[in-house]
Amino acid sequence: MSSRFLMSDAGHYGVHYQINPWMQPDVWSTDPAARIAALKASEDLSAALMAAGATVERIPGVAGLPDLVFPANAAIVLDGKVLLARFRHPERQGEEAVFRAAFHDLKARGLVDDVVELPDGVLQEGAGDAIWDGNRGFFWVGHGQRSTDNSIAAIETVFGQAVVSLELASDRFYHLDTCFCPLQGGKLLYYPPAFTPAALTAIHAHVAPQDRIVASDEDAAAFCVNAVNIGQHLIMAQPPAGLRARLESKGFQVTAIDLAPFILSGGGAYCMTLRLDRRSKAEMACAAE
Ligand code: ARG
């Protein structure tokens, strides 16, 4: 069965405010080629997903909501259930209603089953801070920068799944998906300096040393940890040569996309997408009857 992703059109994308240290509105506004480059980068990413066998659902961009191009922050989706996000920064809060409507449309089309809201007082920025680990059968949940720690209990309750909490230590790696990427076969690409000592202890308790692939400062700053993994395919922003070689030596097929216009907003391949069809129990190949 092919995997299904949500993406948002990049027509209204831009870097117009600064809510993380990567965002550079001045660089964006003085580069006349930036808008065209962003449209091309978004098309290249969706083409790479489709080349890896995925289906891509697209929603239109909205003027005044430039970060709508990062649907990983819109919701957590598992087993057909959509838990809508609540954003920390006022600059992104306008996206909530747009994504709510988009998920209700997906429900009407039968692509998701249920759309639910977070409890009051919880901030949670979607799959950017809650990553399902299909090999281990639990969510890794990031908090401390954008999502609040009370999101942990909310996610456990809504999905009825276990959660491992990871506190993020750096404002440069403000969503879990900027520094943490579980891969096919139980491997993990991650950037240790982004985590508190307790979070690193939790990671190391669950992931054996031979399964850990440590990203360097350069790999993390190139937004390569923010990657989409579909089977053996790994789709990411342009990796430093050393990282590509390490991933290929472990059997991954790396597709590199020039995502510079989105890195200027603090985002990469993973957060420009949201996986819609993830199941907690991998589907069994079984006979028709
Ligand atoms: N400019 C966006 C923000 O600061 C980028 C979001 C990237 N998303 C992610 N899941 N890493 O919110």
Per-residue pLDDT of the chain (289 residues; tens, 9 = 90+): 689 999 999 999 999 999 999 999 999 999 999 999 999 999 999 999 999 999 999 999 999 999 999 999 999 999 999 999 999 999 999 999 999 999 999 999 999 999 999 999 999 999 999 999 999 999 999 999 999 999 999 999 999 999 999 999 999 999 999 999 999 999 999 999 999 999 999 999 999 999 999 999 999 999 999 999 999 999 999 999 999 999 999 999 999 999 999 999 999 999 999 999 999 986 544 433 3
| Ligand 1: centre distance to CA 272 (Å) | 9
Length of the chain: 289
Q: Using the atom order of ligand 1, give the atom closest to the CA of residue 146.
A: 12
Q: Is 266 in the pocket of ligand 1 (CB under 6 A)?
A: yes
Q: How far is the CA of 83 from the centre of ligand 1 (A)?
A: 18
Ligand 1, closest atom to CA 66?
Answer: 1
Q: How does DSSP assign 225-276, residue by residue?
A: SS-EEETTEEEEEPPPHHHHHHHHHTT-EEEEE--HHHHTTT--TGGG-EE-
d(CA 158, CA 262): 31
- Alpha carbon nearest to ligand 1 atom 10, residue: 128
Q: Which residue has a Cα nearest atom 6 of ligand 1?
A: 267
Nearest CA to ligand 1 atom 7: 267
Residues labelled catalytic = 175, 271
- Which pLDDT belongs to residue 67? 98
Task: Please give the number of the atom of ligand 1 that sits closest to the Cα of 128.
Answer: 10
Q: List the domain boundaries for the chain.
A: 4-281
pLDDT at site 169: 98
- State if residue 268 touches ligand 1 by the CB under 6 angstroms criterion: no
The span from the CA of 271 to the CA of 223, in Å, is 10
Are the C-beta atoms of residues 235 and 3 closer than 8 Å to each other?
Answer: no
How far is the CA of 106 from the CAs of 37, 62, 112, 261, in angstroms?
29, 18, 6, 28
- Give the residue, by CA position, lying nearest to ligand 1 atom 9: 271
Q: What angle do CA 250, 238, 24 make, to 5 degrees?
A: 140
Q: What is the CATH number of domain 4-281?
A: 3.75.10.10
Query: pLDDT tens digits, residue range 11-23?
Result: 999 999 999 999 9
Pairing relation of β-strands 233-237 and 253-257? parallel
The reply to whether ligand 1 has any atom less than 6 angstroms from the CB of 177 is yes
Over the stretch 109-143, which tens digit does the pLDDT of each residue have?
999 999 999 999 999 999 999 999 999 999 999 99
pTM for the predicted model, two decimal places: 0.96
